[in-house]
Amino acid sequence: MPMSSTSPSLAGSGAGDAPRVGGDPEALLAGLDPEQREVALALRGPVRVLAGAGTGKTRALTHRIAYGVATGVYNPQQVLAVTFTVRAAGEMRSRLQRLGASGVQARTFHSAALRQARYFWPKVYGGPLPPVMDSKLPFVAGAARRNRLRIEQATLRDLASEIEWSKVSNVRPDDYPAVASARGREVSNLDARTVAAVFASYEEVKREADRIDLEDVLLCAAAILAEDERVAAEVRRQYHHFVVDEYQDVSPIQAALLDLWLGGRDDLCVVGDPAQTIYTFAGASSHHLLDLPRRYRGTTSIELVRNYRSTPEVVEGANRLLAGSGTRSVQLRAQRPSGPALQFHEHADEVEEAESTAAQIRSLVDAGTAPGEIAVLFRINAQSEAFEEALASRGVPYVVRGGDRFFARPEVRQAVTLLRGSARAAADRTESAATVVDAADAGVVGLVSDVLAGMGWARDAPTSRGNVRDRWESLQAIVDQAASFVAAAPGGPGSVTVSDFVADLDRRAAEQHAPAADGVTVATLHAAKGLEWDAVFLAGLVDGTLPYSASLDSPASVEEERRLLYVGMTRARRDLVMSWALARNPGGRASRKPSRFLDGLRPESPSDAVRAARGPSRGKAGKGKARSVCRVCGAALTSVAERRIGRHEGCESSYDEALFERLRAWRAETAKADSVPAYVVFTDLTLQAIAEVQPGSAQAMLAINGIGASKLEKYGDAVLTLVAGGTVTADDDQPTLD
């Protein structure tokens, strides 16, 4: 399946740019498509380019600059090209050099501002520009102490992010409470006045230490230009022509700095894609891009619509995702040959989803796709652990991009250390044997929950976003893993201890630390922006995760979540697989729904049919009540494990033990044939429920916790045959009635 991102016969993203130093200027236009050529010929601003994903915007920009230099319209030393990442700036410089436009400055906003501030600061204020701090966290911590606050590391990171947003949005500490209230800003459990007080103290601590932060770099450069006309005139004599890439990500302070560079002139070319605006939480706004024609009369507006990256199937899916939404976007037109259809997979639980994804990736790698041309993308960092485990177990190399591997995260390392200490303490106590008796809930899971509660974990997720929520998700993943570990214990729930669980965590950590130079990319959707792969797996696409639960209170935030999925979809060149799990853990209640963004994209799934069959009268309250009552004694069920099997553990089991043993034997054969752990097929609790309910139809099977559409499709016929008294083997997979 390996394919190049561009075709030699197509005007693509620029990989085929050849050296043209001293060549005919018209040759620079030869390889461009009509819209790219229009950009290259629009040498005088203002120019706005709306460039869809994969349409070759960097190619169009660099050829525009090179054509302007080659025709003598531009002096290369008077051109400033600005983008947002060091990688993008370096790529732009390399292309310009190959095209014969050496001498053009291609920098990030911060790099250009720092260069100017360092040069002019001594002339205007005397003395050197203060050093730029390496990290805000020590200064934020000092500010918190001045306000007599004891704040954990995750909250400090959230405060640092909020201070960054305030500064790039030109919000001062005194104004923060009113602005935060108006815009729905929230930091952990701190009220806006407390945040404002920490913000003000942070500025004091920073000044006393004679340091500046990255936002100050922009503010200092803007202040020099605004306050000293001589400096402003010198900068404007230096730079006559401005080009800004990724203009949809411009913050208010960056837009203000750009205006100061221009000084009332309009020789500006901006390029961006409103459909890829996914950083509004950090101060970015697509309004600067969309409103440019209102600010500058006579703006030339051009749309790049020819997508050279993805197959028609991927492009059509991306277009349909945004159709009718509130996001302004270009209608992409695919230029590549047709490829495979989009894949949509529904799974019973996250373990099954990860195992299935890893199995598909293993098949792609075995068929010749380089691991580096494959990506698994999800909404939040905490989702990575299951995929790291599944890939490692199949020997597939991977790299986590834009964040630590699961077991390298500070909160996870701390949790494992505390659990190890708790396990040792339990082993030293004479009453430790009694602790293991009810390991299904009050034992291992209960002890794990108690230990993590000491780190701030709670059963209910925090309502805030940011690092506090990320930390909670990581700790929740450990609690969920403990529940799965107990449920899958070969000797039953009472046969395992916290020490056994810690040993399992250590095994997982060891298996996931193998180095991977050319590995499958495992990353969040935010970290994937600007990248592309042959095959992309978008996982965990359920409501509450995408769109993220913290975004549901704002239509604008929900729309940004849709754009995030659009970014993920348009990373794929050929294969695009989208999946979701109806439950978090094996045996868990299948209460999740596929992401609302997939409506109109995906075919009907088995869970859709089940929900339709239940009808509107069977809401959540009714289902919750039915599952909370013991089917034997009729009393309320209190633990997760009891609700899974539908009865108290102390009540006499009503399941058919002979059928249960037949199901276990079949499961063992099936797991061996599929090379997966037995619990991936079905947990013991699910097998008990099958033996107790003895379903006679597919619909009856779907009503059992732990059985979703995917497992019904894989194993439904075999299970129904076993329940009916027939036999089935994993070798032929052909059920027969005795």
Structural domains of the chain, with CATH? 25-113+218-303 (3.40.50.300), 137-206 (no CATH), 343-405+513-603 (3.40.50.300), 410-511 (no CATH), 623-723 (1.10.150.80)
Using pLDDT thresholds of 50, 70 and 90, give the confidence band for residue 4: very low
More confident residue, 477 or 434: 477
pLDDT at site 712: 83
Q: In what order do the strands lie in the sheet with 398-401?
A: 343-349, 572-583, 533-538, 374-378, 520-524, 398-401
Pairing of strands 374-378, 343-349: unpaired
Beta strands in 457-532 (DSSP E): 520-524
Of 55, 117, 110, residue with least CA distance to 85: 110
d(CA 540, CA 517): 26
Using pLDDT thresholds of 50, 70 and 90, give the confidence band for residue 613: low
pLDDT at site 515: 43
Using pLDDT thresholds of 50, 70 and 90, give the confidence band for residue 510: low
Average pLDDT estimate for 167-189: 86
More confident residue, 347 or 627: 347
pLDDT at site 334: 94
Using pLDDT thresholds of 50, 70 and 90, give the confidence band for residue 362: very high
pLDDT beyond 60 at 621:
no
Average pLDDT estimate for 711-731: 81
Of 107, 24, 35, residue with least CA distance to 66: 24
Q: Where are the alpha helices (DSSP H) in 19-85?
A: 34-41, 57-70
Task: Report helix, strand or coil for 583.
Answer: strand
- When mean pLDDT is compared over 189-203, 430-444, 615-629, the highest value belongs to 189-203
Determine which of 206-210, 217-221, 392-396, 703-707 has the lowest per-residue pLDDT on average: 703-707
Using pLDDT thresholds of 50, 70 and 90, give the confidence band for residue 6: very low
Tokens of 499: 């020490």
pLDDT beyond 90 at 127:
no
pLDDT beyond 70 at 624:
no
Own/partner contacts of 180-187, CB < 8 Å, gap of 24 or more, are 184/553, 184/554, 186/463, 186/464, 186/465, 187/155, 187/158, 187/159, 187/162, 187/464, 187/466
Using pLDDT thresholds of 50, 70 and 90, give the confidence band for residue 632: low
Kindly compute the dihedral angle of the four CA atoms of residues 170, 174, 177, 180, in this order, to the nearest 10 degrees: 0
Kindly compute the dihedral angle of the four CA atoms of residues 596, 599, 603, 604, in this order, to the nearest 10 degrees: 60
Residue with tokens 């905490």: 382
pLDDT beyond 60 at 14:
no
Pairing of strands 572-583, 533-538: parallel
Average pLDDT estimate for 328-345: 92
Find the angle CA(278)-CA(282)-CA(285) to the nearest 5 degrees. Answer: 60
pLDDT at site 461: 65
Determine which of 283-287, 293-297, 402-406, 605-609 has the lowest per-residue pLDDT on average: 402-406
pLDDT at site 672: 84
pLDDT beyond 90 at 21:
no
DSSP of 665-719, one letter per residue? HHHHHHHHHHTS-HHHH--HHHHHHHHHH---SHHHHHTSTT--HHHHHHHHHHH
**Side-chain half-sphere CA neighbours of 401 within 13 A:** 22
Of 382, 348, 343, residue with least CA distance to 363: 343
Average pLDDT estimate for 655-671: 84
Determine which of 1-5, 54-58, 697-701, 711-715 has the lowest per-residue pLDDT on average: 1-5
- What residues are paired with 401 via a beta bridge? 523
Average pLDDT estimate for 213-217: 91
Using pLDDT thresholds of 50, 70 and 90, give the confidence band for residue 354: very high
Average pLDDT estimate for 629-652: 55
Phi, psi (rounded to 5 degrees) for 217: -55, -45
Task: State the Rg of the chain over Cα.
Answer: 29
pLDDT at site 261: 95
Find the angle CA(369)-CA(393)-CA(576) to the nearest 5 degrees. Answer: 40
- When mean pLDDT is compared over 183-197, 405-419, 556-570, the highest value belongs to 556-570
Mean of pLDDT over the chain: 81
pLDDT beyond 50 at 615:
yes
Give the CA diameter of the chain.
Answer: 96
Q: Which residues contact 604 (CB under 8 A, 6 or more apart)?
A: none
**Side-chain half-sphere CA neighbours of 291 within 13 A:** 7
For the chain, give the percent of residues with pLDDT over 70. 82
Cβ atoms within 10 Å of 700's Cβ, excluding its own: 15
d(CA 227, CA 304): 39
Average pLDDT estimate for 118-137: 89
pLDDT beyond 90 at 389:
no
Using pLDDT thresholds of 50, 70 and 90, give the confidence band for residue 652: low
Of 351, 348, 322, residue with least CA distance to 591: 348
Task: Output DSSP code: residue 281.
Answer: G
Using pLDDT thresholds of 50, 70 and 90, give the confidence band for residue 345: very high
pLDDT at site 35: 95
Task: Report helix, strand or coil for 100.
Answer: coil
Start-to-end CA distance of the chain, whole Å, equals 45
